[in-house]
Amino acid sequence: MTELNNFLSTETTPEIAKIFGAIEKASFILSKEVGYQGLGADILGADGGENSTGDAQQKLDVYADNVFERALRSSGVIAGWASEESEKFVTFEENKDAQYVIVIDPLDGSSNIDVNVSIGTIFGIYKRVSKVGAPVTLNDFLQKGSHMIAAGYVLYSVSTQMVLSTGHGLHVFTLEQWKKSYHRVLDHVHTPQDGKVYSINEVNFDDFDPKLKRFIQYCRDKKNEKGKRQYTGRYIGSLVSDFHRNLLKGGIYVYPATGEAPQGKLRLVYECIPMAYLISQASGYATNGVDDILKLQPTELHQKSPLYLGSKVMMDEVMKD
Ligand code: AHG
Ligand code: MN
Ligand code: MN
């Protein structure tokens, strides 16, 4: 089985490999603490603060943010970062000569932390558009997804896995805890063209637009050639976990606009674009209900966007007029 470091040494540049190396190191720490469920560091429960989108921060949100920031700073190859947990982007002064920046959701699925349900980390890497040697700028982070050069997520679940792409397909690695090393278990993953699963928080059904309501009814009703139900509903409430299951089984994930949240809940820069990049590397695609997520021009660091993402057949069906 190919080890992550060996894979990266042939797949990408030494700088990008170093960035993944930093993510890898931070994920060892997170994986261990998540596995201890509070027997180790003080990671359970609310922190008492709020992040810039007004979400209540959990202790593990803050802990993860610090662990990833430290690892990425010390990689020497990241000039700055924008984290879902901080209002502003940060220049890593000591790395101003570096060429890359990163956008990150250090801990995705906060509501699942205290109940031992799987959670994740989502990240995306861009080449900076500002001058190398100068501080990073907002435009470095507000790039279209079509300019993203690598992305990935770590899933802290029954096992810890890293799923990544550097633009040449999607690959899945599993962490061997005792050796602290990731090994490739799936190569060039393609999500099934049709799926089995639709994932959406249906509590908001009455608020959905007519097109989405019709699609959900279609999923509920659709029978296969044997007269059996074609689709089933599954929703964990951690984007990373819902994405991962649907990637492997085939399916669709939707976090749409609702009455309460006209732009949905998910963040375009930290969640929607990296996940859109990843699903597009696996033969699926992502939209905001109208347009291709990878073609959207972000205008604010913490802006939200509806997200429709998954297998081609289900996506085509939900997008139909
Ligand atoms: P985060 O923990 O980074 O704030 O993200 C939580 C997100 C996402 O992971 C999940 O799919 C969604 O919130 C669930 O929201 P609902 O509880 O509204 O369904
Ligand atoms: Mn999230
Ligand atoms: Mn988060």
- pLDDT value of residue 1: 80
Mean pLDDT value across residues 310-314: 98
Tell how far the Cα of 1 is from the centroid of ligand 3, in angstroms: 31
CB 269 within 8 A of CB 142: yes
* Residue 110 Cβ < 6 Å to ligand 1: yes
CA distance 250 to 155: 18
CA distance 166 to 176: 22
Band of residue 70 on the pLDDT scale cut at 50, 70, 90:
very high
Band of residue 56 on the pLDDT scale cut at 50, 70, 90:
confident
**Nearest atom within ligand 1 for CA of residue 108:** 3
- pLDDT value of residue 40: 80
Phi then psi dihedrals of residue 165, to 5 deg: -145, 140
Nearest in space to 23 (alpha carbons), one of 136, 153, 166 = 153
Which H helix or E strand runs over 262? none
Largest CA distance in the chain: 63
**Nearest atom within ligand 1 for CA of residue 238:** 9
Tell how far the Cα of 267 is from the centroid of ligand 3, in angstroms: 9
Query: What is the pTM for the complete model shown?
Result: 0.97
Q: Is the pLDDT of residue 162 over 80?
A: yes
Note the pLDDT tens digit of each residue in 131-160.
999 999 999 999 999 999 999 999 999 999
Q: Cα 315 to the chain's mean position, in Å? A: 19
Phi then psi dihedrals of residue 51, to 5 deg: -90, -175
Q: Which residues surround ligand 2, an ion (CB under 5 A)?
A: 105, 108
Mean pLDDT value across residues 107-111: 94
* Residue 194 Cβ < 6 Å to ligand 1: no
CB 136 within 8 A of CB 89: yes
Tell how far the Cα of 199 is from the centroid of ligand 1, in angstroms: 12
Residue with CA closest to ligand 1 atom 11: 239
Task: Ligand 1 pocket test: pick from 51, 58, 108, 156 the residue with the most ligand atoms within 8 Å of its Cβ.
Answer: 108
Dihedral sign from CA coordinates of 239, 310, 3, 145: negative
Residue 217 CB neighbours (<10 A): 11
51 contacts: CB under 8 Å, gap ≥ 6: 57, 61, 84, 85, 86
Band of residue 119 on the pLDDT scale cut at 50, 70, 90:
very high
Burial of 231 (0-12, 13-18, 19+ CB in 10 A): buried
Domains of the chain: 3-186 (3.30.540.10), 197-318 (3.40.190.80)
* Residue 302 Cβ < 6 Å to ligand 1: no
Residue with CA closest to ligand 1 atom 14: 237
Nearest in space to 91 (alpha carbons), one of 136, 146, 55 = 136
- pLDDT value of residue 289: 97
DSSP state of 256: -
Which residue type is seen at 214? R
Task: Ligand 1 pocket test: pick from 47, 154, 234, 238 the residue with the most ligand atoms within 8 Å of its Cβ.
Answer: 238
Determine which one of 24, 33, 85, 242 is catalytic.
85
Of all residues in the chain, the percent with pLDDT exceeding 70 is: 100
CB 209 within 8 A of CB 158: no
Tell me which residue has tokens 């050069």: 149
Residue 72 annotated as catalytic: no
CA distance 23 to 263: 30
* Residue 192 Cβ < 6 Å to ligand 1: no
